[in-house]
Amino acid sequence: MLENLKDKEILILGFGREGQDTFKFLRKLFPEKTIGIADKVELKKIDKKAQRLIKSSKGRISVKLYLGENYLKSLKKYDVIIKSPGIPPKVIAPFVSKGQKITSQTEIFFENWPPKQSKGWEMKASSKGGKLHRPGKIVGITGTKGKSTTASLIYKILRQGRIRAHLIGNIGKPVLSSLITAREGDVYVYELSSHQLYNLKKSPQVAIFLNIFPEHLDYYRSFREYVAAKANIARYQNKKDYLIFNSGDKLVSKIARKSKAKKVPIKGKYYELDKTAARAAGKIFKIPEKIIQKAIREFKPLPHRLELVGTFRGITFYNDALSTIPETAILAMETLGKRVQTIILGGFDRKIDFKKLAENVLKKRNIKNIILFPTTGEKIWKEILRQAQNKSQGREVPRHFFVDNMPEAVKLAYQHTERGKICLLSCASTSFSIFRDYKEKGNLFKKQVFAQQKRRWR
Per-residue pLDDT tens for 203-218?
A: 999 999 999 998 887 8
Domain stops at, among 270, 298, 326: 298
pLDDT (tens digit, 9 = 90+) per residue, 400-448? 999 999 999 999 999 999 999 999 999 999 998 899 999 999 999 999 9
Q: Say yes or no: 59 and 133 in one domain.
A: no
Pairing of strands 242-246, 206-209: parallel
CA 331 to chain centre: 18
Average pLDDT over residues 305-326: 96
Q: Say yes or no: 182 and 233 in one domain.
A: yes
Measured CA to CA in angstroms, residue 394 lies from 205, 268, 274, 426 at distances of: 54, 35, 39, 26
Q: Say yes or no: 331 and 410 in one domain.
A: yes
Q: Say yes or no: 229 and 280 in one domain.
A: yes
Distance CA 33, CA 95 (A): 24
Measured torsion, CA atoms of residues 199, 204, 208, 213, in degrees rounded to the nearest 10: 0
Residue 346 lies in a domain: yes
Q: Residue 85's closest CA among 175, 3, 148, 10?
A: 175
Between 450 and 98, where is the model more confident?
450
- pLDDT band at residue 46, thresholds of 50, 70 and 90? confident
Distance CA 344, CA 29 (A): 49
Distance CA 305, CA 54 (A): 36
pLDDT (tens digit, 9 = 90+) per residue, 51-99? 888 887 655 678 999 999 999 999 999 999 999 998 999 899 999 998 9
What pLDDT is stored for residue 120 in this prediction?
A: 35
Q: Say yes or no: 292 and 317 in one domain.
A: no
Q: Which domain holds residue 270?
A: 127-298
Q: Residue 341's closest CA among 269, 407, 422?
A: 422
Q: What ranges make up the beta strands (E) of 40-169?
A: 62-67, 80-83, 101-103, 138-142, 165-169
* Total number of domains constituting the chain: 3
Q: Say yes or no: 347 and 427 in one domain.
A: yes
What pLDDT is stored for residue 124 in this prediction?
A: 38
Residue 187 lies in a domain: yes
Q: Say yes or no: 273 and 327 in one domain.
A: no
Pairing of strands 307-312, 315-319: antiparallel
Q: Say yes or no: 333 and 279 in one domain.
A: no
Q: Say yes or no: 387 and 264 in one domain.
A: no
Q: In which region does residue 387 sit, left (phi positive, over 0), alpha (psi from -120 to 50) or beta (all else)?
A: alpha
Residue 85 lies in a domain: yes
pLDDT (tens digit, 9 = 90+) per residue, 217-273? 788 889 999 999 999 999 999 999 999 999 999 999 999 999 999 999 999 887 899
- pLDDT band at residue 1, thresholds of 50, 70 and 90? low
Q: Say yes or no: 344 and 427 in one domain.
A: yes
In this predicted structure, the answer to whether residue 316 has a pLDDT above a threshold of 60 is yes
In this predicted structure, the answer to whether residue 118 has a pLDDT above a threshold of 50 is no
Q: Say yes or no: 52 and 175 in one domain.
A: no
pLDDT (tens digit, 9 = 90+) per residue, 263-304? 999 998 878 999 999 999 999 999 999 999 999 999 998 999
Residue 200 lies in a domain: yes
152, 302 in Cβ contact below 8 A?
A: yes
* Helix, strand, coil tally for the chain in percent (to 5): 40, 20, 40
Residue 164 lies in a domain: yes
Between 46 and 203, where is the model more confident?
203
- CATH no. for residue 284? 3.40.1190.10
188, 168 in Cβ contact below 8 A?
A: yes
Q: Which 3-state string (H, E, C) describes 229-297?
A: HHHHHHHCCCCCCEEEEECCCHHHHHHHHCCCCEEEEECCCHHHHHHHHHHHHHHHCCCCHHHHHHHHH
Average pLDDT over residues 120-138: 45
| Residue 190: other Cβ atoms inside 10 A | 29
Residue 131 lies in a domain: yes
What pLDDT is stored for residue 361 in this prediction?
A: 95
Residue 114 lies in a domain: no
Predicted TM-score (pTM) of this structure: 0.88
CA 282 to chain centre: 22
- CATH no. for residue 52? 3.40.50.720
Domain stops at, among 278, 298, 318: 298
Q: Say yes or no: 135 and 47 in one domain.
A: no
Residue 457 lies in a domain: no
- CATH no. for residue 319? 3.90.190.20
